[in-house]
Chain A
Amino acid sequence: MDDLGFFRELFTGLNRGLLMSIMLIIPSALGGLVIGITAGALRAFGNAAVVRIGDGYAALFRGTPLVVQLFVLYFGLPNVGIYLSPYWAAVTAFVLCSGAYQSEYVRGALLSIKRNQYLGAQALGFTRLQTIFWVIIPQAMRRALPGCGNEIIYLIKYSSLAYIVTFMELTGEGKTIATEYFRFTEVFLVIGFYYLILVSVAKIILRKTEKALEVPGFGSA
């Protein structure tokens, strides 16, 4: 039975790819958040030089296609003697790209906190750092969460670009099988379904986080 062999190979391949995708997505999402929060905070509160560097970073990585960033990291860097494995090239590109977008959400959220929250804290004797850490960030975090979650959902999908630097994740595995059997429609429908499941799981986790942090009358709900 031709079909049976096809489906066996398809699901074995896709499951292997799924695992690779997850190994790509989780560190990229976390790294992107860390970079995004750091860059966002520096862009919101840093001095003029720091703000300019932060803005430049965001402009560069939001302004160029991710494919170009991947190519430069994987095919370009060897020219200057830096060799990244397909996996690390992909993770680096995703972290930097995702971080640039995250920094935008974080910066916006930090700047949206009203001046009276600073005044209230300062009048009590909070230092500037204490104010930012205990009053501004906890509030900004809640404001930024929907945007940051959205970016993670994007990341799950653009992680499929890793296959063009030869990292065999979900899409890469699928494409190989599709080419081998010349059955593109079925294969890509199934791949789409896999991503749908990944995104749904991420959405549930994000919802739960938002619920856990929910404060009456504050930001999203």
Chain B
Amino acid sequence: MSRSEPILKVENITKSFGTAHILKGVDLELPKGGIKILIGPSGGGKSTLLQCLNCLVTPDSGTIWFNGSVVDIQKSKELYAFRQQVGMIFQDFNLFDHLTALDNIIIALCKVKKKNKQQAKERAMVELEQVGLSDKGHLYPAELSGGQKQRVAIARALAMDPKVLLLDEPTSALDPELVGEVVAVIRSLAQKGMTMIMATHQISLIRNLADEILFMKDGLIAEQGTPRELLGAGVCTLSQGFCDKLNEITGEEI
């Protein structure tokens, strides 16, 4: 499975909120170009784990390696530099509401990457083109559909040239008919070899994109393996049972 040195590796990540132990010691290795998919019941810790990976939620304990070296999350400079290289896509997009689609991308390039306005604009146009929204750059988030907002969010993350992309249920907040456009963008990222770790309930993504499925339950990785191992014909796994349930809801074939 391990094709190369992991680009992102975490060991023994724990996190509690008050008395609720959300993560109870999670280990994870993400090889370059790998795609891991997190599934499992709500409250199992998928979102918290993803947010711990770039320290939007500070883990209580654990170590993060990026590109072979430990990230010292106590040093804010190091943390900000780390986050620049780890893109994140959220369930509810998190676009900046006061800026147009184009400016959402430009501001990150200008303020964080310190590019000049012209370079930033050119790059932003390229990224919008990639997600098929080059004609929507002048619109504000409130004027875009959910699927379009998520594609802008992906373009914004990609403009930062991330080495890894964290996707937290990227299609869960979308109307069913808009899921396809976002799935298509994620698929094309996978084809280009983007390293990704994604929490999702989208059967087609789980089945077709994952190198490895991680089934999370009660703050731990309960099962992990390739889609064939966990979802193959005749296997009896937690993942299989979970995906069967998703199927009953969506009526999708797996």
Beta-carbon contacts under 8 Å, A167-203 to B: none
A176 CB to closest chain B CB (Å) equals: 49
The answer to whether B112 touches A126, judged by C-beta atoms less than 8 angstroms apart, is: yes
What residues of A have a CB within 8 angstroms of the CB of B95 in the complex? 120
Q: Tell whether A116 pairs with B140 under 8 Å between CB atoms, given A124-B112, A125-B81, A126-B111.
A: no
- Say yes or no: A216 contacts B80, CB within 8 Å: no
CB distance from B250 to the nearest CB of A (A): 26
Chain A CB within 8 A of B129 CB = no
Contacts known (A116-B92, A125-B84); A216 close to B140, Cβ less than 8 A:
yes
From A116, A134, A138, B111 is in contact (CB under 8 Å) with A134
Give which listed residue, A125, A135, A142, contacts B96 with CB less than 8 A: A135
Any A CB within 8 A of the CB of B222: no
Contacts of A121 in B (CB 8 A): 96
CB under 8 Å from chain A, chain B span 54-77: 54, 56, 76
Do B142 and A218 touch (CB < 8 A)? yes
Decide: A215 and B97 in contact? CB cutoff 8 A.
Answer: yes
Q: Are A124 and B84 in contact (CB under 8 A)?
A: yes
Q: Tell whether A123 pairs with B141 under 8 Å between CB atoms, given A130-B111, A130-B112, A134-B107.
A: no
User: Quick check: B96 and A123 within 8 Å, CB to CB?
Assistant: no
**Which residues of B are interface residues toward A (Cβ below 8 A)?**
54, 56, 76, 80-81, 83-84, 86-88, 90, 92-98, 107-108, 111-112, 140-143, 153, 156-157, 160
Between-chain CB contacts (< 8 Å), 17 pairs: A116-B90, A117-B96, A119-B90, A120-B93, A122-B56, A124-B108, A125-B80, A125-B108, A126-B108, A127-B80, A130-B111, A134-B107, A134-B111, A142-B98, A215-B142, A217-B142, A218-B97
For the A-B complex with A116-B90, A125-B84, A125-B112 known, give 12 more contacts whose Cβ atoms are closer than 8 Å.
A116-B94, A119-B56, A120-B93, A123-B88, A124-B157, A124-B160, A126-B108, A135-B98, A138-B98, A216-B142, A218-B140, A218-B142
